[in-house]
Amino acid sequence: MKRREALLTGLAALAARAARAESLPFRLTEVAPGIHVRQGAMAEATPENADAIANTGCIIGDSAIAVVDPGGSLTDGERLLAAIRALSDRPIRYVVQTHFHPDHCFGAAAFLPDGPVFVGHARMPGAIAARGEYYRQRLADSLGEAQAGRPVVPTFLVAVESSFDLGNRVLDLRAHPTAHTDNDLTLFDRRTATLWAGDLLFVDRVPSIDGSLLGWLRVLGDLEAVPAARAVPGHGPPSVPWPAGAAAEERYLRVLEREIRDLQARGGTIEEAAATVGVEERDNWLLFDDYNGRNVTAAFAELEWD
């Protein structure tokens, strides 16, 4: 094929991908009065899904709106913005990022024209400095430069706890010790007793450990004590009852801890662990084979030093 033809074919393929991404339904579900959640696809990032694989959405107060997790790509963020604008014309005053993973954050730039305050864990800027360009390049390789988006560094940083008011609607923010990542932030809406858990809560999709297994179990214990009626998971249905909705994740994480400790006690290797630990959980989770081995490998190293 001549070079120009190859280029045109490539462009046509990109356009077709973009059209498919645009044609995905974008639906916000109101899980409690004023809390709207878009359920992410149970998949890895692809050009077809525009990395719309995490739960995102917004909380609408009497005078302003907070976006929670601005989407997995610029395309996803732009679609979220359009869906929010179809609900309300109140100002978007805050964009809260629950942690720095691309599927939750790379739509952030779509909200820059509204001039909101970007909120994140105090360790999030460091995570962006360490991994931002790597994530951006990886997403650009998959979705194309135009669609990928980029991180926006938060300036409202939460080291322990903080809160803000959207107009008769106070949201309490809590920064957690290392668990899913080293920069996990949760929100609690006092008005509806709704906990927005980000990726500290996976439902149906197998959890991925990018922080600490033991830390996650501790943080999960803290969160289970939050007097919430429901929680919004980072992946899974738009909302689940709380704390019952955390039971499967806690069971999975405890299985990993127990089986790795048993294996280490009898001198088993990390290869043996990766092949055997957690396998009885396989049928309980989507994308199990993509993440369980990695989780076990990470947790094995952690527990070896515990």
Residues binding Zn ion (CB under 5 A): 101, 199
Whole-angstrom Cα distance, residue 259 to residue 213?
13
Closer of 199 and 257 to Zn ion (Cβ): 199
Please state whether 235 falls in left (phi above 0), alpha (psi between -120 and 50) or beta. beta
- Residue 68's φ and ψ, nearest 5 degrees, are -120, 115
State the minimum distance, in angstroms, from the CB of residue 199 to Zn ion: 3
State the minimum distance, in angstroms, from the CB of residue 61 to Zn ion: 26
Whole-angstrom Cα distance, residue 55 to residue 60?
17
Closer of 93 and 104 to Zn ion (Cβ): 104
Please measure the distance between the N-terminal and C-terminal CA atoms of the chain and give it in whole angstroms: 58
Length of the chain: 306
Whole-angstrom Cα distance, residue 245 to residue 231?
8
State the minimum distance, in angstroms, from the CB of residue 101 to Zn ion: 3
Closer of 214 and 270 to Zn ion (Cβ): 214
Closer of 189 and 199 to Zn ion (Cβ): 199
State the minimum distance, in angstroms, from the CB of residue 292 to Zn ion: 16
Closer of 185 and 277 to Zn ion (Cβ): 185
State the minimum distance, in angstroms, from the CB of residue 183 to Zn ion: 10
State the minimum distance, in angstroms, from the CB of residue 291 to Zn ion: 11
Closer of 75 and 208 to Zn ion (Cβ): 208
Please state whether 241 falls in left (phi above 0), alpha (psi between -120 and 50) or beta. beta
